């Protein structure tokens, strides 16, 4: 059962073929068997998950009408707070902290009867592309345990790819949902900025952060998307408009006559040959389904990475100032409040987090603000305009999700720029606030590892990417004679 899709699990629950408690236990068993090797979870809430599952079962047997995903388990990225459950954000700084409140995403998950298995590993405060920046050690890619599962949400993607959970929540600031999905052969969606509430999402970069669904199928992601999306009065940047009908779009999958724009700037140099080949094969499939493929140019995308690495660190330098040992988290050192703050931040934050705080502090300093933060904001506007023009020519835009397949753990640890380049194709959507999806495009010829196909849609037209994604997925699954994860090596119990 754990190899099924979430929708199939929900059907089995509805038909009474299995209870939520049984389903949850099956996943807890898988976690106990494989997570010693994968290290997807930072905390497993066995008791809480089983309690939640038995509540759903009770409601179901009482004949209550339940939401679509009620009783299906899920893995939650450790950057979203859940009342009473340790939330570390992959940092030593928050070791032992148990939040006194639920994030809006968690509240919605609970309202939907979705069973939260535990908290998944991530790069510290969501800064990274490999989970190697987690203070608790990296997660491993179920396709090859010596490789990274992507980041920052590598714990969530690894949990899906190793069947420890059928659904997961990620957050995406520059690609942290989509790139892990690409390198693990799973599906990840960054909704339109403001589509899912950020209340209770521990902020890395407020104007870029967006929580979204991670799953093994496009339809599963759509159901989870609808469960967590919607306006939230507790988040001022949340969009007050109806949630796009993504489930209907994923079920529809008719793309005949749709215009699909290939972004010229997001291919070529720096992209692995096998990844590009799979991308082009996917384009051929979309064309064969009746879509019109056009090429578009977004010339300011070349500056996206530079702008991102000014805006995100600037905001993080301010967002992470609150970790000062005064109210929660660890405390280190003695003497004045200032000395304690200093000593705590010294040991509490890892190297990458410090690097970005320093970068952001510098970029916001008087005398440098205009040249750095100010210019980056202008680039951001130009990138939004690039997208606007491109969306005049195409309904959705597409690119490879990440330039390469999963790299080896340790391979890029000492080269931050090489690491940052992983997100070159995903960052523009965050800067523009639009939605992006990654789904598997196949296994690259060179290394047999999964690659991702990215679909981007205009703001609040998230349904379009589900429609295209579902169409492509259906064709590819036929070609592969089943989901791509069927080809993944089985991780045995050790």
CB of 392 to another protein, least distance (A): 26
Pairing of strands 73-77, 211-215: unpaired
Cα 9 to Cα 165: distance, rounded to the nearest angstrom: 11
Residues 72-111 that bind another protein (CB under 8 A): 80-81, 87, 89, 94, 97, 99-101, 103
Pairing of strands 73-77, 115-120: parallel
Q: Kindly state whether residue 322 participates in binding another protein, applying the rule CB under 8 A.
A: yes
Q: Kindly state whether residue 335 participates in binding another protein, applying the rule CB under 8 A.
A: no
User: Is the distance from CB of 177 to CB of 214 less than 8 angstroms?
Assistant: yes
Q: Which is nearer to another protein, 194 or 253 (CB)?
A: 194
Question: CB 321: neighbour CB atoms within 10 A?
Answer: 12
Cα 78 to Cα 343: distance, rounded to the nearest angstrom: 25
Give catalytic status of residue 77 as yes or no: yes
Residues 402-421 that bind another protein (CB under 8 A): none
Cα 40 to Cα 169: distance, rounded to the nearest angstrom: 13
Q: Point out the catalytic residue in the list 152, 156, 282, 314.
A: 152
Binding residue (CB under 8 A) for another protein from 8, 235, 281, 447: 235
Q: Which is nearer to another protein, 78 or 144 (CB)?
A: 78
Give catalytic status of residue 392 as yes or no: no
Max Cα distance, the chain (Å): 70
H-only helix segments in 185-303: 218-228, 246-252, 273-288
Cα 470 to Cα 476: distance, rounded to the nearest angstrom: 10
Q: What is the DSSP string of 410-428?
A: TSSTT-HHHHHGGGTTTHH
Question: Segment contacting another protein (CB under 8 A): 49-57, 321-329, 402-410, 437-445?
Answer: 321-329
Q: Cis omega (within 30 of 0) on the bond before 152?
A: yes
Binding residue (CB under 8 A) for another protein from 317, 399, 430, 441: 317
Question: Segment contacting another protein (CB under 8 A): 15-23, 151-159, 194-202, 399-407?
Answer: 194-202
Q: Kindly state whether residue 487 participates in binding another protein, applying the rule CB under 8 A.
A: no
Q: Kindly state whether residue 480 participates in binding another protein, applying the rule CB under 8 A.
A: no
Cα 412 to Cα 415: distance, rounded to the nearest angstrom: 5
Give catalytic status of residue 65 as yes or no: no
Residues designated catalytic: 77, 152, 176
Residues at the site binding another protein, with contacts judged by CB under 8 A: 80-81, 87, 89, 94, 97, 99-101, 103, 198-203, 205-207, 233-237, 314-315, 317-318, 321-324, 326-328, 336-338, 341, 361, 364-366, 369, 373
């Amino acid at each position: 059962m754990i190899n099924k899709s979430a929708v199939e699990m929900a059907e089995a629950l509805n038909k009474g073929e299995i209870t939520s408690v049984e389903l949850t236990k099956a996943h807890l068993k898988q976690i106990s068997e494989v997570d010693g090797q994968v290290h997807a979870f930072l905390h497993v809430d066995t008791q809480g998950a089983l309690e939640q599952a038995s509540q759903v079962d009770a409601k179901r047997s009482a004949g209550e009408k339940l939401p679509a995903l009620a009783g299906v388990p899920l893995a939650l990225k450790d950057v979203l707070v859940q009342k009473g459950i340790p939330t570390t954000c992959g940092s030593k700084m928050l070791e032992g902290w148990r939040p006194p409140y639920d994030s809006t995403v968690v509240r919605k998950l609970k309202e939907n009867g979705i069973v939260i298995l535990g908290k998944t590993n991530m790069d510290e405060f969501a800064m990274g592309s490999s989970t190697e920046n987690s203070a608790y050690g990296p997660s491993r890619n179920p396709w090859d345990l010596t490789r990274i599962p992507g980041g920052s949400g590598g714990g969530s993607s690894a949990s899906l790819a190793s069947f420890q959970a059928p659904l997961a929540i990620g957050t995406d600031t520059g690609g942290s949902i989509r790139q892990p999905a690409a390198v693990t052969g799973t599906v990840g969606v960054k909704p339109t900025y403001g589509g899912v509430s950020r209340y209770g999402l521990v902020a890395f970069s407020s104007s870029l952060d967006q929580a979204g669904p991670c799953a093994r199928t496009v339809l599963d992601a759509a159901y989870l998307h609808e469960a967590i999306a919607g306006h939230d009065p507790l988040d001022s940047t949340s969009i007050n408009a109806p949630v796009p009908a993504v489930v209907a779009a994923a079920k529809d999958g008719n793309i005949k006559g749709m215009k699909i724009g290939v972004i010229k700037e997001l291919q070529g140099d720096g992209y692995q040959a096998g990844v590009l080949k799979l991308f082009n094969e996917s384009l051929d499939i979309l064309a064969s389904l009746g879509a019109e493929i056009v090429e578009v140019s977004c010339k300011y995308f070349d500056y996206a990475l530079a702008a991102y690495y000014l805006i995100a660190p600037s905001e993080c330098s301010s967002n992470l100032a609150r970790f000062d040992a005064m109210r929660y988290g660890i405390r280190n050192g003695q003497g004045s409040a200032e000395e304690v703050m200093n000593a705590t931040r010294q040991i509490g934050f890892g190297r990458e987090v410090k690097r970005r705080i320093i970068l952001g502090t510098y970029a916001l300093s008087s005398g440098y603000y205009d040249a750095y933060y100010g210019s980056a904001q202008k680039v951001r506007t130009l990138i939004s305009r690039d997208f606007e023009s491109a969306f005049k020519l195409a309904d959705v835009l597409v690119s490879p999700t990440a330039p390469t397949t999963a790299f080896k753990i340790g391979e890029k640890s000492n080269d931050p720029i090489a690491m940052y380049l992983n997100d070159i194709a995903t960052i523009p959507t965050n800067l523009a606030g639009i939605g992006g999806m990654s789904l598997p495009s196949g296994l690259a010829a060179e290394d047999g590892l999964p690659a991702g196909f990215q679909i981007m849609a205009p703001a609040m037209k998230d349904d379009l990417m589900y429609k295209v994604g579902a169409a492509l997925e259906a064709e590819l699954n036929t070609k592969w004679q089943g989901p791509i994860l069927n080809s993944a090596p089985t991780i045995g119990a050790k």
